[in-house]
Amino acid sequence: MLRFPIASPAGAYGWRPVLIMAALFFSIGFVTWLNGPLITFVQIAFNLSDVASFLVPVCFYLAYLVFPLPATLVARRIGLRRGLVVALAIMAAGTLLFGECVNGRWYAGALSGLSVIGAGLSLLQITVNPYVSLLGDHDRAAQRIAIMGIANKFAGIVAPVLFALIVMPDVGQVVANISHTPVGPVRDAVLTQFTHAVHVPYQVMAGLLLLLAVLVGRAPLPEITLEAAEQQSIPARKAQPAWLLTGVFAMFLYVGVEVMAGDAIGLFGHSFGLSLDITKYLTALTLASMMLGYLAGMVIVPRFISQDGYMLTCCVLGILICLAALVAPGVVPVFCVALLGFANAMILPALFPIVLAEAGSDGAKATAFLVMAYSGGAVLPQIFVHIAPMLGNLHAFMVLVIPAYLFIAGWSMALRAKTGAPVPESLITSAGD
C-alpha cells in the first residue's frame, strides 16, 4: 500500500522558528490581556472613576491607530526579523516605564507606559504575522497560525490569573482598609504598599521581553522580507476599496467587542454584586472560553464548515448569548459575557484574510489598516463607561455589542453573496491581537 508523507506545519525551516514565533504570540497575549485586571488595579490604586480607569484600554489600543503605518515603513527598511527584535525592545521599555510610574503613583506616566507597549505591539503585529505565514508551505499556514493562536489565548488565561495571585491576592481586604481609613499618611501607606506590588513583576516582565529580543536576534531564523509576504500571501487582483474600508470597520467593531468581553467584564461583574476577589479572575474566564472556541474552530473548520461560514455562525451565536444575558436571572449575565469569548474566538482569524483578499495587491497597506482597526478596543469600552450610568451596565453593554455582531454578520453575508465562494484557508495571516 502506498503511503504519502504528511507535510509538517513547520516546513523546510524546522520547528525552531515556529516555536520562537509561538513565544512571541504568547508575549502578545500576556501583555494584552493584563489590561482587564489592570483596570481594577488602577481604579483602586489611584482612586479613579470608571471613566478614568478605562483610560487603560484607551491608551493601549489607541497606539494601534497611530503606529501601524510607521511600523510598516520600519519593517520595510530593517526587515521582518529585525523588526521583531525592535518591537520586543520597545515593549520591554514600555513595561519598565509602566511599572516605575505605578510604583511612583503617577497615573499619567503609567498610561504613557501602556502607550509605549502598544507601539511595540503594533510593530510586532506588522512583522510577526507575515513572518509566520511564510515560514513554511503556504497551504500549511493555517496550521501554523493555529499554533500561534493557542499560544496567544493560553497567555490570555495565564496573565490575569498570575496578576491576581501576585499583585492583588488580598484586594478585598485592601479596599476595606482604604474605606475605613481617613485621608492621610496611614491611607497613603496602604496605597503605596498596594502599588509597590506591581514594581518587581513588571521589572521581571521587562527583563523577559529583553531576553526574548536577544534570543530572537541571535537565533538562526530565516530572513523574510515584507515584499515576499505581499507576493505570496495576497492574490494579484484589483483592490476593492469599498469592501476593504467596510471590512476594516468590521475589524474595528470586532476588537471592541473582544475587549469588552475580556477587559470590561470585571466592572460588569462588580455591578452584579460580585466581589473584587472574584471579578479579578473574570478576564481569565473569558479567555478560557475563547481558547475553547479556538480549539472547536480548529476541529470544525474546514471539515464541516468553511472559515467564513463559521465566522457568520459565531456572530449569530454571539447575538444569541447577548439576548440570553438580557433575560437571565441573577449573575448569569456575567457568565454569558464570559461565554462571548467562545463566540469571538474564530471571528478575527476569518475576518483578517477576507479583508486582505479584498485588498488585492495592496496587502501591506491593508495589513496596516487592519492593525489600526484594533483601536476599536479603545473606543467601544470608553463609550460603554460613559453610557452605563444612563442605561445600566447590562443594557449599555448589549447596545454596543449586538449591533457590532449584526454589522459583521451582515458584511460577511453581503460579501459571500458578491463572491459566491469562501476565502481559501491558506490566506489566514493573523492569530492574535
Phi and psi angles of residue 353, each rounded to the nearest 5 degrees, phi first: -70, -30
Residues 111/55, Cβ–Cβ less than 8 Å: yes
Higher pLDDT, 214 or 306: 214
State the pLDDT at residue 359. 67
Question: Using 50, 70 and 90 to split pLDDT, how confident is the model at 4?
Answer: very low
State the pLDDT at residue 305. 79
Q: Domains plus CATH for the chain?
A: 13-226 (1.20.1250.20), 234-425 (1.20.1250.20)
Q: What is the DSSP letter of 137?
A: -
Count other C-beta atoms under 10 Å from residue 241's C-beta: 12
- Mean of all residue pLDDT scores within the chain: 82
Residue 328 pLDDT greater than 60, yes or no: yes
Phi and psi angles of residue 326, each rounded to the nearest 5 degrees, phi first: -65, -25
Residue 96 pLDDT greater than 90, yes or no: yes
Residues 295/315, Cβ–Cβ less than 8 Å: no
User: In what helix (H) or strand (E) does residue 316 lie, and over which residues does it extend?
Assistant: helix 307-327
Range 58-69 average pLDDT: 89
Task: Using alpha carbons, list the distances in angstroms from residue 29 to 5, 22, 144, 287.
Answer: 34, 11, 16, 10
Task: Using alpha carbons, list the distances in angstroms from residue 225 to 63, 78, 107, 156, 357.
Answer: 24, 9, 39, 29, 20
Phi and psi angles of residue 345, each rounded to the nearest 5 degrees, phi first: -50, -45
**Residue type present at position 32:** T
DSSP string, 225-288: -HHHHHHHHS-S----HHHHHHHHHHHHHHHHHHHHHHHTHHHHHHHTT--HHHHTTHHHHHHH
Calculate the CA dihedral of residues 65, 341, 248, 35 and round it to 10 degrees.
0
Residues 6+ apart with CB under 8 A from 13: 135, 136, 222
Residue 22 pLDDT greater than 80, yes or no: yes
- Percent of the chain scoring above 70 in pLDDT: 82
State the pLDDT at residue 2. 39
- As given in the structure block, the three cell numbers for residue 14 are 524546522
Give the separation between CA 393 and CA 273, rounded to whole angstroms: 12
The least confident of 280-284, 380-384, 395-399, 415-419 is 415-419
Give the separation between CA 402 and CA 408, rounded to whole angstroms: 10
